[in-house]
Structure 1
Amino acid sequence: MYQKLLSFIFLVSIAATNIPVMAQNNPLEAYRWQNRLLLVFVPQVEDGRLTSLQNTLNQVECEFKDRDLLLGVLTRNAPSRIGNNLISSYHEAQLRAKYGVNYNQFAVILIGKDGQPKNQLSEVPEIEKIFGQIDNMPMRQQEMANRSNHCN
């Protein structure tokens, strides 16, 4: 009986110490329930598709921020980041594997506040369609009802 109790305590302590490690292994966990993410995977940071998307986002910066969106740019030939936070090459590779994006591919993935992918595209998205998709999400509907849009 005493041996079983010790074994149980040992297993519980191992499980408890592994919980933070598992959370640290998800590079998107820090954004869950705080931000929506627009992750852009590019072969090179000089990719014209990324430049085109960034130019569009500069024109709708207020609307982008109003939807609690952060831009993530993941590439091998420059530091990857989400918003102002750097992403390690390990976490970049982890995200590429998770979403099935090779290093030579271009992909844009919309991640909801719940941490789940909502859309995955292989071309530059029309930002109004992304905004429309977000605006139809139940959590966004609540946000719009509870706060005024200061972008107009």
Structure 2
Amino acid sequence: MLKSLMTEIFGVGPHPEETSGNLHDLQWEKRVIVIFSDPARLKSDAQLGALRADTDALRQRDLAIFTVDNNEVRPAFGSDFVPQAHTLRKDLGCAPGAFALVLVGKDGHVKSRYDDVVDPDVIFAEIDSMPMRQAEIHR
């Protein structure tokens, strides 16, 4: 609120790098999976293929998927928003060149991190056990 007042009154706001390119725009709307590519892209391609095999499950769980390969981010499912690679690496703590899958909840917090390909059913079960998802299921 203070930042919005400063912007409105003084024309001064947060530095653009502080607010651009992060996952904040998807908070409370989407759960996010970020797949950081391995150098040969074997694990990352296998992981993305396994997840995309069940688009209904992805849709039901309000998922957005992004792949990060070096400095390039590609929306792979559920969103056209394109966060910045350096921001994702910094915010999610992933070094370049290492495979990782990071699950971020609708609240914007990291829920899980995997360093190997994981069966989508494991991810779906984890999401389904979250309190917010339980509330969605019961509605």
- Scaled by the length of structure 2, what TM-score is found? 0.80
| In 2: Cα distance, 1:43 partner to 1:136 partner | 29
Aligned partner letter, 1:80: V
Corresponding residue of 1:145:
138
Q: Which of 69, 76, 80 lines up with 2:70 in the alignment?
A: 76
Question: Percent identical across equivalent pairs?
Answer: 25
| In 2: Cα distance, 1:25 partner to 1:55 partner | 29
| In 1: Cα distance, 2:45 partner to 2:6 partner | 49
Corresponding residue of 2:120:
127
| In 1: Cα distance, 2:8 partner to 2:118 partner | 42
Q: Does 1:30 align with 2:1?
A: no
In the alignment, is the contact (CA less than 8 A) between 1:43 and 1:76 conserved in 2? no
| In 2: Cα distance, 1:25 partner to 1:135 partner | 30
Corresponding residue of 1:85:
81
Corresponding residue of 1:66:
60
After TM superposition, the structure 1 = structure 2 runs for residues 74-113 of structure 1, keeping only pairs within 5 Å, are 74-76=68-70, 79-82=72-75, 83-87=79-83, 91-113=84-106
Q: Which runs of 5+ in 1 are unaligned?
A: 1-11, 147-152
| In 2: Cα distance, 1:86 partner to 1:19 partner | 20
Q: 1:93 to 1:23 in 2, by over 3 A?
A: closer
More helix, by proportion: 1
Corresponding residue of 2:44:
50
Q: 1:145 to 1:97 in 2, by over 3 A?
A: same
Deviation per residue, 1:42-76 (Å, 9 max, x gap):
145x6011221122123211011110001110112
Partner-residue secondary structure (3-state), 2:44 = helix
Q: RMSD over aligned Cα, in angstroms?
A: 2.4
Q: Which runs of 5+ in 2 are unaligned?
A: none
| In 2: Cα distance, 1:56 partner to 1:14 partner | 44
Deviation per residue, 1:2-41 (Å, 9 max, x gap):
xxxxxxxxxx736974258576246101100000001001
**TM superposition shift of 1:113:** 0.2
Higher Cα radius of gyration: 1
